[in-house]
Structure 1
Amino acid sequence: MAQDALDALRIDRSKTPRKRRSRKWWWIAAIAVLLVAAGVLAQRNRPVEVDTTRVTQAWPAQSITRLNATGYVVADTKAAVASKGAGRLEWLGVREGSAVKAGEIIARLENSDIRAQIAQAQANVEAARARQTQAEAELVDANFNLKRQQDLQARNFVSQSVVDAAVNRAHQARATVGAQAAAVRAAQAAVREAQVALDNTIIRAPFAGVVLTKQADVGDVVAPFNASADSKGAVVTMADLDTLEIEADVSETSLSKAHLDQPCEIQLDALPELRLMGHVSRIVPTVDRTKATVKFKIQFDEHDKRVLPDMSAKVAFLERPLQPDERTPRVAVAADAVVDGKVFVLNEGVVRAVPVKTGRKMADLVEVSGVKTGDVVVLKPAPTLRDGARVVEKKS
């Protein structure tokens, strides 16, 4: 009896731990499932790294461009205007940007000494002419005396020696007239020489154009060939802006893609929105050994007042002339960004699928409508990319 009571009070521990262990593993399994689900959800919501590009403006000329080259704007008619004479610059009538006509006086050197020389030479001419007049009068008197002596000899009133003396006097008078005429011409030549010296102190524009730079100021000494260390060789540099053209270097290996009279599209770095038409006017028949290039001269078919010498330019050598409807830019994007008629536009970390209509292909770009310039789109989107997905741009 006592033993049964004791057995009744004994706790069977073999079943209790087994029950607790089963409940513990159930919670562990539940937590593991939750963690996996959370991981899958986190993986799904994690931003996907993508390559991006921007919607830009493209020009139709890109699709028919055979060759691209760079160069500079130069003036075919350009000169450093200087004086043939030496002297101090007394007056300068132009500045940078001044438009001048052919033959217009633009500067003058001090020339008071040369003007005095001209006055002296002109006085010498007048003196020589006076002596010539006197000699001519003596010739008239000698001829008259000779005729009178010959008449008197015919009537045997004078001897032959008197007539011979009259003949010699007439010859001398005639020679004196010739000598005085030569003296007049010499004096006139001296006037012209002094006048040339005076003209050399007056600097004129050799052609109609625009003053580009000013090398000398009033008071500077100007000398041909920059004769001294402190002298200036040129007063101004000017150019005819109507003769502007592009000098572009073309690689020897690309010469087959360019030829005379080939149409070109010109873009200036200073005016990126401006596209001007031109054509190849000349090819310089020499090769630059150091760069292995040939110089091409591209003449402007269209002009703009904003184009200035020494501007850098890009030249596209075209297969054919552009049509009027090909002169305006088009909205375009990299062809790899368009998949199944849509692009993925990125905005604040989320992409939206935007349907687009494609047009002409321009090099590696394609014309599109439905997006605007500056939009950021996904480049080469993955097949799994969906509308509304969170993405992040890859770091370059």
Structure 2
Amino acid sequence: MKTSHRLLGAGHVETFPPPTAAMHMSNPLSKLAIDRTASPPPRRRKRRWLIILIVLLVLALLLGLSRSGRSTEVSTAKVVQAWPSAAISQLTATGYVVPQKKAAIASKATGRMEWLGVREGSKVKEGEVIARLERAEQEAQLAQAVANVEAAKARLRQSEADAIEAERSYRRSTELLAQGFIANSAHDNAISRTQQATAVVGAQRAAVKQAEAAVTQAKVALDNTYIRAPFSGVVLTKTANVGDVISPFNTSVDSKGAVVSMADMETLEVETDVSESSLFKAKQGQACEIQLDALPDLRFLGTVNSVVPSVDRSKATVTFKIGFSERDPRVLPEMSAKVSFLSRPLSASERSPRLAVSPKAVQEGAVFVVREGKAHRTPVQTGQSLGELLEVRQGLKLDDTVVLDPGPLKDGAAVVEKKP
């Protein structure tokens, strides 16, 4: 049985006897007192540490699973087609396809159009009639001019007959004067009549020529009612229709100046502007490659045909005209074009596109191809540089998605593409 002690002042200690059973029974609250001197059982303490350890292990497992299922965010790019000309391109400029030979076809005469024989896209030959104006008035004028020629010729024949008769009178007068049968005055009158008859013949011959010139003029006026193609080409636009009044000077509101516009497709070329600071990279006769926005899968060979010898002050550029070395019926005027000025002509093997990828995707002879959300390491065989891209000879196909700057990425790792 234990005894209790209490320390008093001045080093005195008061001793209490241990509580007895009777005392416990006499005080019910003593049953609720906690004995802090008692230690927990060893089994309960081990169980508590075991539960804590299990909870920590579960948390670590969940954390590891969450990290292993998380996708790595990566930048990607597509495998594309690139052209070998990019490796030898010194300068790139934009421009438009224009025909060197182009004209707006109008009539020299004024009148109402009664026939039109072409439409947009029609091919015409040089001298071919493409439209006709009303020509009744011109035909009447021609007929009158022809009649005037006949009348002038009749008067000429009459004057020639009079001249012959005057010549005969002059010869008789000369003979009679020699024989002394007539006076000198009568002979002088014969001479005057002969000279007058000769002058009248000359005047009538001039009148005939004048009448014939009027016929020619009337024929020209009639011919002007026919509108002909000045060269072989293709009709681009139609600006007038049957029934419209055509005037060469377009003097009235309702009249039309040009009937159609046409161009010679054999003279198509690209006009592009080159900045003054880049003039040393381009010159006349230089080989070029032409790309059209309308035909992105094709490249056309070209040559610098001419350089306009003046500078545009507002843009500080010089206009270059690049001719097509090969013709394609799909090339049309006003198409947008991009011209690459090359350091040398292209060989036959450099006329076809090749697979290419960004050099940032190639790491130690391999790339990571993204398929179904995972990055797969794929060995590749690369070739020459194609501008900003790198040629891929083996290992990839067109439109494959590859990872840029893969770094420590593992084969089969889950990835997600970065949003732009």
Structure 1 residue ranges without an equivalent (≥5):
none
SS in 1 for 2:255: coil
**What residue number does 1:39 align with?**
63
* TM-aligned CA deviation for residue 19 of structure 1: 5.2
User: Which residue is equivalent to 2:280?
Assistant: 256
Counterpart position of 1:145: 169
Moved more, 239-248 or 37-46: 37-46
Is 1:359 paired with 2:375? no
Q: What is the CA distance between 1:12 and its match in structure 2? A: 7.7
1:16 Cα offset (Å): 2.0
Question: Which of the numbers 390, 400, 405 marks the counterpart of 1:375?
Answer: 400
Distance in structure 2 (CA, Å) of the matches to 1:21 and 1:249: 89
Trace 1:102-121 onto structure 2 (pairs within 5 A): 102-121=126-145
Q: How does 1:283-322 map to 2 (within 5 A)?
A: 283-322=307-346
Listed one character per residue, the Cα deviations across residues 135-193 of structure 1 (whole Å, up to 9, x for unaligned) are 00110110011001100111111111111110000001001101111111111111112
Q: 2:76 is paired with a residue of what secondary structure?
A: strand
Aligned equivalents of 2:44, 2:319: Cα separation in 1: 93
* Aligned partner (choices 332, 335, 343) of residue 356 of structure 2: 332
Matches of 1:142 and 1:31 in 2, distance apart? Answer: 151
* CA positional deviation for 1:21: 4.4
Name the counterpart of 2:226: 202
In 1, Cα distance between equivalents of 2:377 and 2:112:
76
- Distance in 1, matches of 2:279 and 2:254, equals 47
- Which residue in the other structure is 2:306 paired with? 282
Superposed displacement of residue 58, structure 1 = 0.6
Given the alignment, which residue of 166, 169, 172 partners 2:190? 166
Residue correspondence of structure 1 range 8-23 to structure 2 within 5 A: 14-16=38-40, 20-23=44-47
Match of 2:104 among 54, 70, 80: 80
Match for residue 350 of structure 1? 374
Structure 1 letter corresponding to 2:377: A
Residue 227 of structure 1 and its aligned partner are, at CA, apart by 1.3
Q: 1:387 to 1:127 in 2, by over 3 A?
A: same
Q: Does 1:240 align with 2:264?
A: yes
When structure 1 is superposed on structure 2, of 82-91 and 286-295 the one drifting more is 286-295
Once the two structures are TM-superposed, the CA of residue 17 in structure 1 deviates from its matched residue by 6.3
Aligned counterpart, 1:183: 207
Q: Which moved more, 1:162-171 or 1:225-234?
A: 225-234
Amino acid aligned to 1:282: S
The secondary structure found in structure 1 opposite 2:170 is helix
Per-residue CA distance 1:331-378 (angstroms, 9 max, x = gap): 111011010111100011111111110111111211111110000000
- Does residue 395 in structure 1 map to residue 392 in structure 2? no
Offset at residue 88 of structure 1 (A): 0.3
SS for the counterpart of 1:184 is helix
Unaligned runs of 5+ in 2: 2-17, 22-30
Instruction: Note if 1:270 corresponds to 2:283.
Output: no
TM-score by length of 1: 0.95
* 1:22 CA drift (Å): 4.6
Q: Which amino acid aligns with 1:218?
A: V
Aligned equivalent of 2:28: none
1:286 CA displacement: 2.0
- Structure 1 residue 20 displacement after superposition: 3.2
Q: Match for 1:226 among 228, 250, 273? A: 250
Structure 2 counterpart SS, 1:57: strand
1:59 to 77, 83, 87: 83
Alpha-carbon RMSD across the aligned residues, in angstroms, is 2.0
Equivalent-residue separation in structure 2 for 1:264 and 1:17 (angstroms): 95
- For residues 279 and 108 of structure 2, the distance between their equivalents in structure 1, rounded to whole angstroms, comes to 43
Q: How far apart in 2 are the matches of 1:45 and 1:205?
A: 75
What fraction of aligned residue pairs are identical, expressed as a percent? 57
> What is the Cα deviation at residue 290 of structure 1?
2.5
AA at the equivalent of 2:180? N
What is the CA–CA distance in structure 1 between the aligned matches of 2:109 and 2:188, rounded to whole Å?
Answer: 56
| Cα distance, 1:33 vs structure 2 | 3.3
Paired residue type of 1:377: V
Query: Structure 2 residue aligned with 1:157, among 181, 184, 188?
Result: 181
